[in-house]
Chain A
Amino acid sequence: MAAGTRERILEAACDLIAADGIDDVRIARVATRAGVSTALVHHYFSTREELLEEALTHSFETAGSERFSAATDPGASAAERLASAIDACMPHPGSQERDWVLWVELWLRAARDAGLRPLAADLYDRYRAWFAEIIEAGLRSGEFTSDRSAPEIADFAVALVDGFGVRAVIHAPRATIAEVRNQVAKRLAAELGIEAEELGATG
């Protein structure tokens, strides 16, 4: 029950951050949205800062574990796993899009607030390692070929996903999820010596 309540509060905080921006989030509103008292929120999170940091971490961890499970299907080839990973990073309407809004909030805050940078660095470490592991497996099995190492290609992949993904989330022209995913797939596939379709490109 306690775990459920804490999560409900974090989810409420995430919804409000995504809707109003992190600076406008107030404990009282989080409490109302979570259907609990302000006192209870304070019980779990001593400060507003702590709540906000935990909310961001919660969002990324939830997204991360969803993504991990999508990409660890034992029967899947490295290309299929990588295609899943790319797709999981796209701002699909719903919780993934919300996660993206929170991700951009994190960028904005950590850009100015040194206190949030260790959190951002940790999340990026995990994000890069996740791609590197799949790419490494593909290189080892010979499914992928490249003169770059897995960590280098992972850095490239993560940057592409971020750079293209943000265009999709702000609804830039010619940046639908399909178009953006195709661009990422095309560039990453070229890097790995495979066809773009193997990474989920369509059309």
Chain B
Amino acid sequence: MVFPEPRLSFRGTRGGDAARVSPRPQIDHIRRPQILEAAVEVICERGLRNTRIADVAERAGTSPSAVLYWFQTKEELLAQAMIADEERFARELEGRLAEIDDPAEQLVAAIDACVEDDNWTMWIELWSRSLTDERLRGEREGLDRHWRAILARIVEDGVERGVFDPVDAEEAALALAALIDGLAVQVTLRDPALTEERMRKICIETAEHLLGVELGSVLRPPEEVGA
């Protein structure tokens, strides 16, 4: 599939476009998310350092100049890709949670979403980048805060409704998030001693201890997950 090259040069006649009849709004809609998705794929396969604009362009079915049209630099593209991927995870989870009324069930759904997520590599890349890249460190913090807020809301709701013990929701959310992070590393590394099933078991048991609740009745059999 061949996409038409944008007629505008990268060096920025963007501001002057208004006067032209421009297909840009459509490209805006289609191309940017496609590029981000392609970037996420390539980053997961090759790692951040080995991801080139050319690779992303090829994966997205477009040209390097088209990629650079939307993202000024490779650094910008990669940062946006990582952020977009994490935001997608949060959005999908929030969508799932909106359909569940019981806080205990919501908690299990949140844990399941983490166990089943196969994009932890991206999160590990963010940690690694955060060591030296201030900007990405800030972005990671924002994403982490958002994720912990989702967990905290579930806990708060459960405490309010007497389903969970009266605990500090933020502290409980932090403990669960840290636990999940640590377990996910080993699962991502395909450690034979720390399978997805074991990760799930440890998370569920920990949540039960933390919140004084039985989660057995809301458990469903673990889904088959592809390699």
A residues with CB within 8 A of B: 21, 23, 101, 104-105, 107-108, 110-112, 114, 117, 120-121, 124-125, 128, 148, 152, 155-156, 158-164, 166-167, 169-173, 183, 187, 190-191
Contact = CB atoms under 8 A, between A and B. Distances in A.
Nearest to A19: B132
Given A112-B121, A160-B179, A105 B128 contact: yes
A163 B193 contact: no
Q: Dominant SS at the B interface?
A: helix
Contacts of A163: 177-183
Contact of A183 (B46, B131, B178, B206): B178
A124 B193 contact: yes
Contacts of B205: 148, 152
Q: Dominant SS at the A interface?
A: helix
Interface string B100-125: 00000000000000000000110011
A124 B124 contact: no
A183 B174 CA distance: 9
A192 to B, nearest CB: 11
Contacts of B209: 190-191
Contacts of A172: 130, 137, 140-141, 144
B34 interface: no
B65 interface: no
A171 B137 CA distance: 9
A161 B182 contact: yes
B178 A160 contact: yes
A170 B140 contact: yes
Given A101-B131, A172-B144, A21 B186 contact: no
Contacts of A104: 124, 127-128, 131
**Residue from the set A110, A155, A159 with the largest chain B CB neighbour count within 10 Å:** A159
B148 to A, nearest CB: 11
A108 B181 contact: no
Query: What bracket does the count of chain B residues touching chain A fall in?
Result: 35 or more
Contacts of B185: 107, 162
Given A162-B182, A167-B178, A156 B206 contact: yes
A128 B209 CA distance: 21
A111 B128 contact: no
Nearest to B134: A171
Given A23-B50, A104-B131, A156-B206, A124 B191 contact: yes
A170 B181 CA distance: 14
A23 B178 contact: no
B191 A120 contact: yes
Interface string B198-227: 100010011001000000000000000000
Contacts of A161: 182
A108 B128 contact: yes
A128 B193 CA distance: 10
23 contacts: A21-B49, A23-B50, A111-B188, A121-B191, A155-B202, A156-B179, A159-B178, A159-B182, A159-B183, A160-B178, A160-B179, A160-B182, A162-B182, A163-B179, A163-B181, A164-B178, A166-B182, A169-B131, A170-B131, A172-B144, A183-B174, A183-B175, A191-B209
A125 B186 CA distance: 11
